[in-house]
Amino acid sequence: MEYRKLGKWALRVSEIGIGSWLTYGGSVDKKQSIHCLHHAFEQGINFFDTANVYAHGESEKVVGEAIKHLDRDDIVLATKVYFPMGNGPNDGGL
């Protein structure tokens, strides 16, 4: 796996990341999702992307389950928060 330096810091991010938009917590079952994320990590992928609206929060849960036993220093986790998750005054935006 090739890595790139992120910004001026020493953080190195895999050139290939794995996202979870239409799959984890939705169309792919949890066990298979976790297997896929672990396999990606074993191949050197250290960048995982998710968001609170992916499968209405289920994607973040699956990614969290998959990475909970990995060393935090070995992964780069990105998540996004903007789109509404409900109708409450604090359910959307930044």
Domain boundaries, the chain: 14-80
Tell me how far apart the alpha carbons of residues 38 and 9 are, in angstroms, rounded to a whole number.
Answer: 26
Tokens of 45: 């992928």
Is 24 catalytic? The answer is: no
Could you tell me which of 15, 10, 17, 20 has the C-alpha nearest to residue 58?
A: 20
What integer pLDDT is reported at residue 40 of this predicted model?
96
Nearest-5° angle of CA 67, CA 43, CA 22? 60
What integer pLDDT is reported at residue 22 of this predicted model?
72
What integer pLDDT is reported at residue 83 of this predicted model?
87
Over 67-94, what HEC string results?
HCCCCHHHCEEEEECCCCCCCCCCCCCC
Of 3, 24, 54, 82, catalytic: 54
pLDDT by position in tens, the chain (length 94): 999 998 888 899 999 999 988 788 788 889 999 999 999 999 999 999 999 888 888 999 999 999 999 999 999 999 888 888 889 988 887 7
What integer pLDDT is reported at residue 49 of this predicted model?
94
